[in-house]
Amino acid sequence: MSGKTRNQWEMRDPRDQYPQPPFPEQPQPKPGEARRMEPQPDHGEESYVGLGRLKGRHALITGGDSGIGRAAAIAYVREGASVVINYLPDEQADADEVIELLRKEGGTIHAMPGDLKDEAFCEKLVADSAEKLGGLDIVVNNAGKQVSQPSILDITTEQFVDTFRTNVFAMFWICKAALPLMPPGGSIINVSSVQGYKPSANLLDYASTKGAILNFTKALAEQAIEHGVRVNAVAPGPFWTVLQPSGGQPQEKVQHFGEGHPMGRPGQPAEIASAFVFLASQEGGYMVGETIGVAGGNPAE
């Protein structure tokens, strides 16, 4: 069965809406490329249809070249927003795909590659995004680092620090720089994970950062709402993104990714895009300090 679906509103059995495991072995060097995955992820390229819910809005999305970030970028542009995507320079090929797609459709999307582990770059990214877009009222902190290790004895200090700098420090730097620029009605959306509630032993450092993001989101939400800015989070379960085959999971788990969940398959990025639209739009206007879990029948506890 194809990894794409053309009509997001057509009723179907969700269990076989997308490919089910087993999947082939497909190791990739970090950071990996979505276009090399088998089956190909669905980011909404053909399936997402916008309704103008973000018309005139200005969004920065980190990790916007592939996976959940690409799905959010496609949805935002098709909902009428102008978007900046950030990604690592090594991910340029994936970024070029989504940029070409959305510009051909008449959308406004800008590329700002760079490493979020650098505080100065994070500050410049926010400032340049606001200048390029003519404002900044949506920030999606999606970029993440995930490296599977069987034991704490296998996690180097370098890996541990890099995971926290990418997943937590960058979020802190970006939010700190963005909040003063955001008008009332703005929205910050942080990407946590079910790992923040139910950590896997092989993802000790990654899960720890996702727990930190949940608490960061709740605390910042109380501060930001005093300025009229809403802060919320999304907590994905197992999603079919390049993070997994490029070291995020052992290859034996990649082959059976999502198999143990009630849905019997991993989620596709297109299936979570609407959560980001809801939290960014006025439809989610009463959502503050909340976390939306999208976990395929294995909810966070």
pLDDT in tens, 52-74: 999 999 999 999 999 999 999 99
Q: Is residue 1 one of the residues assigned to a domain?
A: no
Q: Is residue 127 one of the residues assigned to a domain?
A: yes
Predicted pLDDT of residue 6: 53
159, two tokens:
């890996």
CB neighbours (10 Å) of residue 209?
26
Alpha-helical regions (H) of 181-250: 204-224
For range 106-115, the mean pLDDT: 98
**Which is catalytic among the residues 76, 87, 206, 286?**
206
Mapping DSSP to helix (H, G, I), strand (E, B) and coil, where does residue 107 land?
Answer: coil
Q: How confident is the model at residue 7 (pLDDT cuts 50, 70, 90)?
A: low
Give this prediction's pTM. Answer: 0.94
Predicted pLDDT of residue 35: 86
Alpha-carbon Rg for the chain in angstroms: 18
138-141 vs 58-62, strand pairing mode: parallel
What is the C-alpha to C-alpha distance for residues 112 and 87, in angstroms, rounded to an integer? Answer: 7
For range 38-44, the mean pLDDT: 94
Predicted pLDDT of residue 3: 45
Of 4 and 285, the one with more pLDDT: 285
Q: How confident is the model at residue 266 (pLDDT cuts 50, 70, 90)?
A: very high
pLDDT(98) > 80: yes
Q: Is residue 22 one of the residues assigned to a domain?
A: no
pLDDT(1) > 50: no
CB neighbours (10 Å) of residue 120?
9
CATH of the domain at 129: 3.40.50.720
Predicted pLDDT of residue 2: 39
Predicted pLDDT of residue 8: 67
Predicted pLDDT of residue 301: 39
183, two tokens:
């008008």
187-191 vs 58-62, strand pairing mode: unpaired
For range 69-91, the mean pLDDT: 97
Q: Which residues pair with 189 in a beta bridge?
A: 140, 232
Q: Evaluate the CA torsion angle 117, 123, 124, 128 in order and state its sign.
A: positive
| Residue 252 belongs to domain spanning | 51-294
Q: Is residue 35 one of the residues assigned to a domain?
A: no
Active site annotation includes 18? no
Mean residue pLDDT across the chain:
94
Number of domains composing the chain: 1
Q: Is residue 30 one of the residues assigned to a domain?
A: no
% of the chain surpassing 70 pLDDT: 96
Q: Is residue 179 one of the residues assigned to a domain?
A: yes
Q: Is residue 8 one of the residues assigned to a domain?
A: no
Question: Residue 126 is inside which H or E element, if any?
Answer: helix 119-133
Predicted pLDDT of residue 299: 55
Nearest residue to 125 (alpha-carbon basis) of 60, 81, 182, 56: 60
Residue 251: C-alpha distances to residues 171, 172, 203 (Å): 29, 32, 14
Q: Is residue 33 one of the residues assigned to a domain?
A: no
pLDDT in tens, 157-187: 999 999 999 999 999 999 999 999 999 999 9
| 33: CB partners within 8 A, 6+ apart | 66, 91, 93, 94, 242
For range 68-83, the mean pLDDT: 98
